[in-house]
Amino acid sequence: MDNPHPFAIETRKLNLWYGTFQALYDVDLAVKQGQITALIGPSGCGKSTFLRSVNRITERLGYVRTTGSIEVFGHDIYRPEVELVQVRKKIGMVFQRPNPLPLSVRENILFAYRLHSGGERLTRNKGDEIVEDALSQVLLWDSMKDRLHRKATTLSLEEQQKLCIARLLPVKPSVLLMDEPCSALDPEATEAVEDLIWELRGRYSILIVTHNMAQARRASDECIFMLMGKVIEHTRTEDMFVTPKHKETADYIEGRYG
Amino acid sequence: MFEATSLNRRNRQKEGLVRYLFLLMTLLLILPVLIILGVLVAKGGPVLSMDFLFTYPTDGMTAGGIFPALVGTVWLVTVALLFSVPIGVAAAIYLSEYAPDNWLTRLINLAIINLAGVPSIVHALFGLGAFVMFFGFGTSILAASLTLAIMTLPVVIVSTRESLQAVPMAFREACWNMGATRWQTIRHVVLPNSISGILTGVILEVSRTAGETAPIMFTGAAFFLPFLPQGIFDQTMAMSLHLFVVSTQVPGVPEHLPYGVALVLILMVLTMNATSIAFRMYLRNKKKW
């Protein structure tokens, strides 16, 4: 997927229902490749739902119905012949609470790689290489290289969250979805993870849901404001925070509701 | 300004009363257990010896040891486990990890819980009809163990399912989001983190199986056999039935003998339970999340 398609994610008339409740209304979005795009909006506005429909994890609930299309680098991921495993491989997800597996740091990073390499024996060298590369990308290698056999669940939350990003990288995803990745972290850890996300910009297309206005402003190229399942505004971040075009956007970012 | 009002005092009295009432009930609960153990040890302790464990009964079962019954119980439990553990664990994995949450699944869950309450004598009659007669296994270890397996299956399923569901959902979600299939998730994450609970359930089930009498009475356990079983199509003696026999069916048994048999049986069960607790503690200390 190295094609220079300008958009990482493009949706057309995306509607989504949880049972009879409609959570997304005609969402038309184009998320640029290699950039950080922040999704903001009050609780229940559909931003997490949108994020989750981009790697089709919403379907697990069983009672979700989707119409319209989502294209990732120009390929519709809702076509029937699409293999879900490939979708999940190319589109990584980072959660609100860090959720490393109860394995060693090393095994966490090799986990996805092993899943997608189909039982092929992984040599020690190759494994070391993958682990070093992934940890270096998330700026953890120096502090973690002597602790690779520690259980990941005993690390600090910041380290855990960075590890959760790192373990996606060995299978070469193109898109990283992040659902409030800093909301369980203290301010210092938040800053560190934000720095990391900024560091990953360019190599990956990142879509990040956040409740934190300051974070959206600091750490994104473009910003999407959603309200009641609809996209209200999608512009460059500095434009949204300086000269919002819609009254609802202005009200929200100034903290008049949320 | 912080003095107790009469309402405070009344509530405090009530609190004390309720607390001691519950303590009393707890003591009432453990009292019979202590008495049983005490009596067994006092009356059965003197007959315990290597000879008692490793020789055959003699003199019309009024003397000698319990070797064939001991071996028979090991046979029955082992063969029962060979059936109930794979089936029960597989069913529990299906119900916990694959089955959609719909009315059919709920009905199956309800049925399993109710199955656990079917009296063992009913299982015994079922075993007699199905395994001994219909399938033609005759009265044999196979028929008796299958009956025991069917009786304990619901327990295995319920305890396994509980262990599986104690694994945090976040781990599964992490796996699914990396593109893992259900089976990969189960194999690499869910099972390694629930195996301690599953094994504990299995060991507890062993102890229950070892003590059952009714299900094996009609299906495979014999009154007295002067030899050990050679295979699963043989009949066998068993500890629980042997206890029943020497207590009620044979005249002239010295008083201490049944107590000795009961003591060995209960020690087997307690050892198994203790192993399960130790094992669970060992595995639990190893995992942290």
**So what CATH class is A7-98+175-253?**
alpha beta
Q: For residue B281, how many other CB atoms are within 10 A of its CB?
A: 12
Question: Are residues B287 and A84, on separate chains, in Cβ contact within 8 Å?
Answer: no
pLDDT at B248: 87
List the domain boundaries for chain A.
Answer: 7-98+175-253
Which residues contact residue A229 at a Cβ distance below 8 angstroms, ignoring those fewer than 6 apart?
A22, A23, A24, A25, A27, A45, A46, A49
Q: Is the pLDDT of residue B263 over 50?
A: yes
Is A171 close to B175, i.e. CB distance below 8 A? Answer: no
Q: Identify the band that residue B115 occupies on the pLDDT scale cut at 50, 70 and 90.
A: confident
In terms of Cβ atoms closer than 10 Å to its own Cβ (0-12, 13-18, 19+), residue A78 is middle
**Amino acid (1-letter code) at residue B139:** T
Residue from the list A86, A93, A116 with its beta carbon closest to the beta carbon of B177:
A93
- Asked if A39 and A207 count as a contact pair (C-beta separation under 8 A), the reply is yes
Beta-carbon contacts below 8 Å between A and B: 59
Q: Is the ipTM of this complex over 0.85?
A: no
Tell me the C-alpha distance between B145 and B83, whole Å.
Answer: 8
Specify the length of chain A in residues: 258
For A37, A166, A185, A215, B69, the CA distances from A190, given in Å and listed in that order, are 17, 16, 6, 9, 67
Average pLDDT over residues B7-31: 93
Q: CB neighbours of A216 closer than 8 A, spacing ≥ 6?
A: A38, A40, A210, A223, A237
Q: CA of A112, closest CA in chain B: separation in Å?
A: 6
With 0-12 CB in 10 A as exposed, 13-18 as middle and 19+ as buried, what is B38? exposed
- Report which of residues B225 and A231 the model is more confident about: A231
Cβ contact A216:A41 at 8 Å: no
The whole-number pLDDT of residue B47 equals: 85
Task: Please state, in angstroms and rounded to a whole number, the distance separating the CA atoms of residues A126 and A217.
Answer: 39
Measured distance between the N- and C-terminal CA atoms of chain B, rounded to whole angstroms: 46
| Residues within 8 A of B (CB atoms), A 76-95 only | 84-89, 92-93, 95
pLDDT value of residue B286: 67
Confidence of residue B201 (pLDDT cuts 50, 70, 90): confident
- Answer yes or no: are the C-beta atoms of A78 and A69 closer than 8 Å: yes
pLDDT band at B22 (very low <50, low <70, confident <90, very high): very high
Q: What is Dmax (Cα atoms) for chain B?
A: 84
Q: Where are the alpha helices (DSSP H) in A70-212?
A: 84-90, 105-116, 124-137, 141-144, 157-166, 187-200
What is the per-residue pLDDT for A1? Answer: 47
pLDDT for A3 equals 55
- Report yes or no: A214 at the B interface, CB cutoff 8 Å: no
Which token pair is B123? 């299982």
DSSP state of B134: I
Beta carbons within 8 Å of A11's beta carbon, 6+ residues apart: A27, A28, A29, A30, A68, A69, A70, A71
Strand partners, A65: A17
Check residue B222 and give its pLDDT: 80
Contacts of B99 in chain A (CB under 8 A): none
Burial class, B70, CB count within 10 angstroms (exposed 0-12 / middle 13-18 / buried 19+): buried
Supply the pLDDT for residue B45.
87
For strand A205-209 and strand A36-40, is the pairing parallel, antiparallel, or unpaired? Answer: parallel
N-to-C CA span, chain A: 38
Q: Is A208 helix (H, G, I), strand (E, B) or coil?
A: strand
Residue B289 has pLDDT above 80, yes or no: no
* CA dist B124 → A22, B153, B211, B220 (Å): 55, 14, 14, 10
The whole-angstrom separation of Cα B131 and Cα B236 is: 16
Q: What is the pLDDT of residues B55-104, one digit of tens each?
A: 888 877 778 888 888 888 988 998 999 999 999 999 999 999 998 888 99
Task: Indicate the residue of A93, A115, A154 with minimum beta-carbon distance to B180.
Answer: A115
State which residue of chain B sits closest to A171, comparing Cα positions: B178
All domains of chain B in start order, with CATH:
50-286 (1.10.3720.10)
Cβ–Cβ under 8 Å, residues A175 and A54: yes
Side chain identity, residue A46: G
Contact (Cβ atoms closer than 8 angstroms) between residue A52 and residue A128:
no
**Is B189's CB within 8 Å of A101's CB?**
yes
Give the residue from A219, A160, A204, A250 showing the smallest Cα distance to A39.
A219
pLDDT band at B229 (very low <50, low <70, confident <90, very high): confident
Of B100, B180, B288, the CB nearest to A62: B100
Residue B230, Cβ density class (10 Å: 0-12 exposed, 13-18 middle, ≥19 buried): exposed
Phi, psi of A26 (to 5 degrees): 40, 55
CA distance A130 to A109: 8
- Side-chain half-sphere CA neighbours of A162 within 13 A: 27
Predicted confidence band at B211 (pLDDT cuts at 50, 70, 90)? confident
Rounded CA separation A182/A169 (Å): 19
Contact A102 B176 (CB under 8 A): no
Kindly give the confidence (pLDDT) of every residue in chain A, 258 residues in length, as a single tens digit, with 9 standing for 90 and above: 455 678 899 999 999 999 899 999 999 999 999 999 999 988 888 889 999 999 888 887 778 899 999 999 989 999 889 898 899 999 999 998 999 998 899 999 999 988 888 777 788 888 899 999 999 988 889 998 898 999 888 899 999 999 999 999 999 999 999 999 998 888 889 989 999 999 899 899 999 999 888 888 888 999 999 999 999 999 899 888 888 888 888 888 887 665
Which residues are CB-contacts of A234 (< 8 A; sequence separation ≥ 6)?
A: A29, A222, A223, A224, A225
**Which residues on B lie below 8 Å from A118 (Cβ)?**
none
